[in-house]
Amino acid sequence: MDRLGNMEEKVGCLRIGLGCWVMLWLFIGTISVSLCYFMARSSGFTSPIVPALSASTSKNPEGAIFAELFNIIAILTLVIIVIRYFHVKMINRQVDGGETSHLSQINSLGIVFGLGSAVGVTLVANFRSIEDDNAIQIVHLIGAIIILIGGAAYCWTQTVATYLLTKFGSGVRPVFITRLAITSLLTLNSLLVFTCGGLSYGDAVSHSSLQIVGIISQWIAVWCFGLFALSFFKEFQTLSLNIQCIPKCSGNSSDVLKYSTLPASGNGENATDSD
């Protein structure tokens, strides 16, 4: 019986869970930044080490491809943020039979920062860096700032939430340490991007040391976002998200229609079909 139970558990882990959203985000994100690199190189944007992420956005079709991919990333970012919000909310309700105020506040704050960073992605995608239009360049720059600040703030809220869950016995300490390390590295590189970008603004020297450090920090920050998202995969695999369609002004629970958006990775008890 124990052997059969272990086999069922292994099979359950292989089933599609909400972790597929994380993997899809990583897949599209990897393709996006890789294309940014190769398109920038092919367009003649040279740099001693790596080109700026948005170096290829001023020309078409490269800029259009950049915009399309980053808009998809923004949507997937929203999905992951919402799943994580409800995940923490679900665990929070199970702590001592109620919700703790600190974890609830951190969770609510996290979704605000997360949504802000997703908006920043759309600004970077749709207001591309065009050398002849300063107004569009400014909006593009604002979007990049929102991504770094909002994204780093979101990672900090989730790191703190993970720490609180560890205290309640609902979290894993190695996961907290991993997220703390990634978030610290992300914050450091975000500060370097702002510092080097500000000091080298208007610099007549192309590819100065400050510009190179800023660009490298930009790339490291992007991969930090990817690693942080990857840390959600195992947790998301154990989840199933149900959407409830409730008749307006009706308090009768029997009228609720439930649709399971994705099956759970376990034995399937949490997945519900339409009534």
Length of the chain measured in residues = 275
Residue predicted with more confidence, 204 or 31 = 31
Nearest to 221 by CA among 185, 256, 179, 266: 185
pLDDT number for residue 265: 46
Q: What token pair was written down for 239?
A: 């989840």
**Residue range 72-95: average pLDDT?**
91
pTM of the model: 0.80
Q: Identify the DSSP state of 242.
A: E
CA triplet 267, 271, 272: central angle to 5 degrees? 140
pLDDT tens digits, one per residue of 99-115: 567 888 999 999 999 99
Runs of H (alpha helix) within 95-172: 101-126, 134-167
pLDDT tens digits, one per residue of 205-249: 566 778 888 888 989 999 999 999 999 999 999 888 777 777 776
Residue 158 has pLDDT above 70, yes or no: yes
- Do 154 and 113 touch, CB atoms closer than 8 A? yes
pLDDT number for residue 77: 95
- Do 113 and 150 touch, CB atoms closer than 8 A? yes
